[in-house]
Amino acid sequence: MTFDTSPARYKHWKLTFDGPIATLSMDVREDAGLSPDYKLKLNSYDLGVDIELADAIQRIRFEHPELRTVIVTSLKERIFCAGANIMMLRGSSHAAKVNFCKFTNETRLAIEDASANSGLKFLAALNGICAGGGYELALACDEIVLVDDGNSAVSLPEAPLLGVLPGTGGLTRVVDKRRVRRDLADYFSTLVEGVKGKRAVEWKLVDRVYPTSQFRDAVRKRADALAAASDRQATGPGITLNPLNPTVTESGLTYTAVTMTFDHAKRTAELTVLAPSGPQPSTAEEILKAGDQFWPLRAFRELDDALLRLRVNEPEIGTVLIRTEGDREAVLAIDRTLVEHQSHWLVHEMVLFMKRTLKRMDLTARTFFALIEPGSAFAGSLFELALAADRSYMFHDDNEENVVVLSPLNAGPLPMSNGLTRLQTRFLDDATKVSEVLAHAGPFNAAEAEEAGLVTFAPDEIDWDDEIRVAVEARAAFSPDAMTGLEANLRFAGPETLETKIFGRLTAWQNWIFQRPNAVGERGALKAYGEQGRPEFDWKRT
């Protein structure tokens, strides 16, 4: 399974441009699902469809600075989108369901990130039936317009029809983003046929409805209005996101700045990120010219891809040991360049991409231990990897050459999904510690880093090998599920946001339901759907 694609290879989406407005049209090919076991009828989708969507949104940000509005619509008659393909879901393993939901959630959050931070406004133009995951995609947009043809409705039929939740943010966004009244949301979410026309507007499920005859023009007008209101700073030519083309073998992935090797017997991986070397761009012009080869974008794109492949292709790798290598001064120089040019649209997008990649790591259900050893480059943006890890071990060398360093990128530009920086989350007990470590001049050696609370443990040469070995072996021996639950709770201390609610409350309940016989048992609702006979439920409420 790979996540590489590009518009020329899209099977399910058409991406067209007209001045500041892009139109992203869903036109799913029934016979082009990831598996031949199901047909993607009625613009229903599987992970392959969503990988193209995620790619399109990414490219719009980097390759098309001229854009202000993205219209999300469908090329199918009277159908916007029927949601996630049910036959795909019922045929999927538990892990596949969970990974599918996680990725689609991240894609929808990327839409909201582009709106909130890049001034790209998304208009869901619902030209027909919009059900389940289709409506959840619309909910991620800034504005939803629905054709008023007496038939087209928005709906979340997952619970009544399939016995599962609208788990791609649906329940959360209905009440927390669109702030639909909870009792109306309750009724709506149990109504297979959904809500259409004026009532959909009154209940705030959509923003506007238009008769069929006016729909096309109205969509254009709303898109223009959104473009006019956009504060997107980007101008000039974009850059191209070229394929990453890692070398893939049984034992690992090799990119230019990232390698990930697997020890399947031990169920561990080693992830290494290389600091930049050689001369680096330092002006906006040079950065534009370097494009996707500029280290921060290149390294974090590779990291992002490695994390995605790990999730989907390496289910039994439970523990990831993170290292960095190279010149930490070069990382700090890059961080300075990023801060200096942070108002330039491309640099801004690069930092936002780094942020999203680190969030992807926070949400990856694998243990991460950072190993900070001599020769490492845990500086600034790369130190975020240590902060994102569940624990960090720093080699306490006698000569004090092994160090970590902070940079302004640790102070705000790379927040977690809880809205706090990783330093703020780490020092939730005392905000002054955050300012203290940020005010510290120069690097921290192992003793200083441990004292300041920047690393978990700092064993010396006598203890290092044994301590790491024991920690990794112990971790790898625990129940994988218990570790997933543990990490999902400990990583997100502090405030909850729409985003963390989706991954905390909603996802955790959905995963519970995905285990329940009432959904996935032989006579469960998901299994029974489309077959003769009704589902049979264990009626006990839990």
Q: Which of residues 256-275 bind a copy of itself (CB under 8 A)?
A: 267
Backbone angles phi, psi at 535, to 5 degrees: -65, 160
CB of 338 to a copy of itself, least distance (A): 26
Q: Hey, CA dihedral for 363, 364, 366, 368, is it positive or negative?
A: negative
Distance separating alpha carbons of residues 2 and 51, to the nearest angstrom: 9
- Mapping DSSP to helix (H, G, I), strand (E, B) and coil, where does residue 197 land? helix
CB of 235 to a copy of itself, least distance (A): 36
Binding span for a copy of itself by CB under 8 A among 90-98, 242-250, 284-292, 339-347: 90-98
Nearer to a copy of itself, 138 or 387 (CB): 387
State the residue for tokens 């996680």.
Answer: 102
Nearer to a copy of itself, 348 or 366 (CB): 366
Tokens at 66, concatenated: 């001229």
Backbone angles phi, psi at 506, to 5 degrees: -65, -50
Among residues 142, 158, 302, 349, which is the contact residue for a copy of itself, using CB under 8 A? 158
Size of the site for a copy of itself (CB under 8 A): 90
Interaction of residue 511 with a copy of itself, rule CB under 8 A: yes
Binders of a copy of itself among residues 168 to 227 (CB under 8 A) are: 171-172, 174-176, 179-187, 189-190, 204
Interaction of residue 537 with a copy of itself, rule CB under 8 A: yes
Interaction of residue 518 with a copy of itself, rule CB under 8 A: yes
Interaction of residue 281 with a copy of itself, rule CB under 8 A: no
Nearer to a copy of itself, 74 or 500 (CB): 500
Count of C-beta atoms within a 10 Å radius of residue 62: 21
Binders of a copy of itself among residues 400 to 429 (CB under 8 A) are: 425-429
Among residues 318, 326, 380, 443, which is the contact residue for a copy of itself, using CB under 8 A? 318
Among residues 164, 363, 372, 405, which is the contact residue for a copy of itself, using CB under 8 A? 164
Interaction of residue 452 with a copy of itself, rule CB under 8 A: no
Interaction of residue 159 with a copy of itself, rule CB under 8 A: yes
Nearer to a copy of itself, 228 or 470 (CB): 470
Interaction of residue 506 with a copy of itself, rule CB under 8 A: yes
- Please say whether the beta carbons of 15 and 7 come within 8 A: yes
Among residues 163, 276, 326, 459, which is the contact residue for a copy of itself, using CB under 8 A? 163
CA distances (Å), origin 97, targets 18, 56, 498, 514? 37, 23, 22, 8
CB of 500 to a copy of itself, least distance (A): 8
Q: Hey, CA dihedral for 10, 12, 15, 21, is it positive or negative?
A: negative
Binders of a copy of itself among residues 37 to 76 (CB under 8 A) are: none
Query: How many alpha carbons fall within 13 Å on the CB side of residue 368?
Result: 26
Binders of a copy of itself among residues 350 to 409 (CB under 8 A) are: 365-366, 389-392
State the residue for tokens 């069929």.
Answer: 212
Interaction of residue 82 with a copy of itself, rule CB under 8 A: no
Binders of a copy of itself among residues 477 to 496 (CB under 8 A) are: 478-496
Nearer to a copy of itself, 336 or 433 (CB): 433
SS (H, E, C) 68-109: CEEEEEECCCCEEECEECHHHHHHCCHHHHHHHHHHHHHHHH
CB of 542 to a copy of itself, least distance (A): 5
Tokens at 501, concatenated: 């609610």
Distance separating alpha carbons of residues 467 and 136, to the nearest angstrom: 46
Amino acid at 337: T
Interaction of residue 504 with a copy of itself, rule CB under 8 A: yes
- Please say whether the beta carbons of 322 and 117 come within 8 A: no
CB of 528 to a copy of itself, least distance (A): 10
Interaction of residue 160 with a copy of itself, rule CB under 8 A: yes
Residues 6+ apart with CB under 8 A from 46: 33, 34, 35, 38, 40, 84, 85, 88, 100
Interaction of residue 474 with a copy of itself, rule CB under 8 A: yes
Nearer to a copy of itself, 218 or 537 (CB): 537
Nearer to a copy of itself, 295 or 492 (CB): 492
In the stretch 104-143, what mask flags binding to a copy of itself with x, by CB under 8 A? Answer: ----------------------------------------
Interaction of residue 228 with a copy of itself, rule CB under 8 A: no
CB of 409 to a copy of itself, least distance (A): 20
Burial code (b: 16+ CB inside 10 Å, e: under 16) for 252-287 equals bbebebbbbebbeeebbbbbbbbbbeeebbeebeeb
Interaction of residue 541 with a copy of itself, rule CB under 8 A: yes
Give the CA angle between residues 340, 331, 314 to the nearest 5°.
120
Nearer to a copy of itself, 213 or 489 (CB): 489
Tokens at 165, concatenated: 């939740």
The length of the chain is: 542
